[in-house]
Amino acid sequence: MAVSPISPAIDPKDPLAILTSASSFFISAISDLPRANLIGMVVGTLTFLATICTVIYLLVAGGSFSRIAAQQAEQKANNGAPQPTSLSYKALASRPALLDDLSLSRSRMLASPAPPLSSKLLLPAPPEALYKLFYREHMSHSHAASSSVPGNPTSVLTAYARAASTYAGAFPGSPTATLRDAARRYARVYASVCTASVKENDKWAAFASDPVGSASLVGSLVNLFAVTPPTLPAAASRLASFARCTDGRPIEGESEYDPTSVWCLALSPGPVDEAAAADHPLFSGTSPSSATLLVSSNTTLKTVGVIVLGRDDPASLSVDVPDVVFHPGYAGTLQEAEALYLVLQRIFALGYRRVTRSVDAGDVAGKKLLERAGFSLEGTAAKARLKELEGGDVVSCNLDCYAMLNSDWKKRWEGMYAAVYGAGALAEEKRATARDTEEDEKKDKLREMREEELKKEKGFEVVEGEGKKTK
């Protein structure tokens, strides 16, 4: 292909002549190209132009230019000084405020004197007012008569009211909505356990009136007892049972095992000496910011494990789970899962926003338990713990740090509930919760109507939901 060169006679000072000559050269250069090449050039050019236009549109529509202009104007208003990169009080104050329920729970936990963690986990004696409230509520609900909870209706009502009132009576005053809903859920499981038969009803009624039993969370498979200095003497048999189940001896037909397999990854020292179990740091060294929960089987009433809570921080509404120790025959079972479920439900019902747990990076079973429960891995802390072995050697441990937030629990509790109690029980629980919510909304509307009526009456104003005379 012959292409004519640009004529040397063109005046270099004439831009129009140069442009005309260059255009002629370009046209003559592409005129002989194959058709496919020409199409490719056109499509590529159009694609390039479309990309540029799209980027410009996104910058304009996204407000990038507006923000740049605003920043430049702000800097100009501040005599050209750049904005500080550190967090300002104004930016901090613009963040969403704590929800009312959480704020109320926080103020109750920080009340003087601040209650220790163990007392918050314990179920106190049922407040009479709350007992009557839940009794009437469960009796008046349309689904009470057709409840799936077996047993004598009177026993069901009594067990339900007893469990709900003790669960919701963690703090003085009316329970928060979160605590009330969790109390109802706990009470339905408790009532089903207590009233499965006359024998069970008698057993658990006596258990609930016992000083040791009244300090317990009762589930379908296990119950959890909080060890505190006042309950330590009454819990001697439970402590001895825990020592026997974690020192390598067989229980319930299980074979012997190496106790180091239980304690090698635990933060607490072990195994526990049965003769001096009460003096073990797990039980004697509890501080106001920690709590030790013994897990016992509902079938045998033998202690099969322990869950330790620590680093209680009510100001930040956070708590840590340093240790979860179970007999090998119960590790990874529904009993362990229900024990963790009961603890998490209680913690978040009290108003906590964050639960953390750090496990050894090599503890595969411990990590699986947390992941099934809905914990999220936040990272790995290198050389975070030193562990002394039986021979006296000290080794370094990396810890995988897991956490669960109250927002995570709202999404994950159903999965744990179904895994422990079954999909059918979860479906019934969701129906009961929906009916409770409907009843609560009706009560709220009636209360609002009464308040409006009080407002309309001459000489009255509404103060915190009560009619007060004005002067």
Is position 235 within any domain?
Answer: yes
Is position 22 within any domain?
Answer: no
Which pLDDT does position 26 carry in this prediction?
A: 65
Is position 470 within any domain?
Answer: no
Give percent of the chain above pLDDT 70. Answer: 77
Is position 284 within any domain?
Answer: yes
Which pLDDT does position 171 carry in this prediction?
A: 81
What does the pLDDT average to over 35-58? 85
Is position 252 within any domain?
Answer: yes
More confident position, 179 or 15: 179
Question: Residues 315-351: pLDDT tens digits?
Answer: 899 999 998 988 888 888 899 999 999 999 999 999 9
Whether pLDDT at 355 is above 70: yes
Which pLDDT does position 317 carry in this prediction?
A: 92
3-state secondary structure the chain: CCCCCCCCCCCCCCHHHHHHHHHHHHHHHHCCCCHHHHHHHHHHHHHHHHHHHHHHHHHHHCCHHHHHHHHHHHHHHCCCCCCCCCCCHHHHHCCCCCCHHHHHHHHHHCCCCCCCHHHHHCCCCCCHHHHHHHHHHHHHCCCCCCCCCCCCHHHHHHHHHHHHHHHHCCCCCCCCHHHHHHHHHHHHHHHHHHCCCHHHHHHHHHHHHCCCHHHEEECCCEEEEEECCCCCHHHHHHHHHHHHHCCCCCCCCCCCCCCHHHHCCCCCCCCCCHHHHHHCHHHHCCCCCCEEEEEEECCCCCEEEEEEEEEEECCCCEEEEEEEEECCCCCCCHHHHHHHHHHHHHHHHHCCCEEEEEEECCCHHHHHHHHHHCCEEEEEEEEEEEEECCCCCEEEEEEEEEEEEHHHHHHHHHHHHHHHHCHHHHHHHHHHHHHHHHHHHHHHHHHHHHHHHHHHCCCEEEECCEEEECC
Is position 2 within any domain?
Answer: no
Is position 58 within any domain?
Answer: no
Q: What residue numbers bound the domain in which 235 lies?
A: 105-434
Whether pLDDT at 454 is above 60: yes
Which pLDDT does position 278 carry in this prediction?
A: 80
Question: Residues 236-289: pLDDT tens digits?
Answer: 888 888 888 888 877 766 778 888 877 888 887 778 888 888 888 777 766 788
Question: Residues 95-137: pLDDT tens digits?
Answer: 777 777 888 888 888 886 777 888 788 776 777 888 888 888 8
Which pLDDT does position 465 carry in this prediction?
A: 46
- Highest-scoring range by mean pLDDT, 391-395, 425-429, 439-443: 425-429
Whether pLDDT at 82 is above 60: no
Question: Residues 154-173: pLDDT tens digits?
Answer: 777 788 888 888 888 878 77
Least confident window among 282-291, 413-422, 442-451: 282-291
Which CATH number belongs to the domain containing residue 171 in this structure? Answer: 3.40.630.30
What does the pLDDT average to over 213-223? 79
More confident position, 458 or 428: 428
**How many distinct structural domains can be found in the chain?**
1
The confidence band for 469, taking pLDDT boundaries of 50, 70 and 90, is: very low
Question: Residues 7-37: pLDDT tens digits?
Answer: 555 666 666 666 676 667 667 767 667 778 7
What does the pLDDT average to over 49-69? 84
Mean of the per-residue pLDDT values for the chain?
Answer: 79
The confidence band for 145, taking pLDDT boundaries of 50, 70 and 90, is: very low
Cut 0.85: pTM above it: no
Which pLDDT does position 467 carry in this prediction?
A: 46
What does the pLDDT average to over 38-49? 85
What does the pLDDT average to over 413-429? 92
Is position 146 within any domain?
Answer: yes
